[in-house]
């Protein structure tokens, strides 16, 4: 059904016009609240992933800058995972790939030991963030 023109809207009874305008206002308010919830959830995921990745990196590197770098990569990937509504595999890719690339760069420059088994740690963080975000969306969609 095509949208209503202004002339058609003006011909409607006042109570119907009021109802339509209230529904539009309520829909806009709900959309804003949803965006705010997503931003809050993405920020929480970014902080958690950044701290976990930095803590895991402490084991393989003595350089504080490298810890912060890995934490930042994981935080950006976690924010993207939640913001773009990715799930398990999306989280693994969004966090695991940037951290793996950073691990290769760090090993090549001598910033960390070349323990590429740690790739699974970063992929695990990504999978956990993806599952958490997916679960939160499911709970929210169910109305809880």
pLDDT tens sequence across 52-100 = 999 999 999 999 999 999 999 999 999 999 999 999 999 999 999 999 9
Phi/psi for 71 (5° steps) reads -60, -40
Structure tokens at 28: 């806009």
pLDDT at 125 over 80: yes
Alpha carbons within 13 angstroms on the beta-carbon side of residue 40 total 8
| Domain ranges, ordered by start, for the chain | 41-142
Q: What is the mean pLDDT of residues 105-110?
A: 91
Q: pTM for the complete prediction?
A: 0.82
| Rg of the chain over all Cα atoms, to the nearest angstrom | 22
pLDDT at 43 over 70: yes
């Amino acid at each position: 059904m095509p949208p209503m023109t202004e002339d058609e809207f003006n011909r409607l009874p006042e109570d119907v016009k009021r109802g339509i305008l209230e529904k539009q206002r309520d829909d806009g308010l709900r959309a804003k609240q949803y965006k705010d919830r997503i931003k809050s959830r993405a920020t929480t995921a970014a902080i958690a992933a950044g701290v976990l990745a930095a803590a895991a990196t402490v084991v393989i590197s003595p350089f504080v800058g490298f810890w912060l770098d890995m934490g930042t990569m994981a935080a950006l990937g976690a924010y993207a995972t939640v913001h773009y509504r990715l799930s398990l595999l999306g989280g693994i890719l969004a966090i695991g790939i940037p951290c793996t690339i950073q691990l290769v760069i760090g090993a090549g420059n001598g910033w960390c030991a070349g323990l590429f088994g740690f790739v699974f740690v970063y992929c695990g963080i990504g999978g956990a963030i993806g599952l958490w975000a997916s679960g939160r969306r499911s709970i929210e969609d169910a109305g809880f």
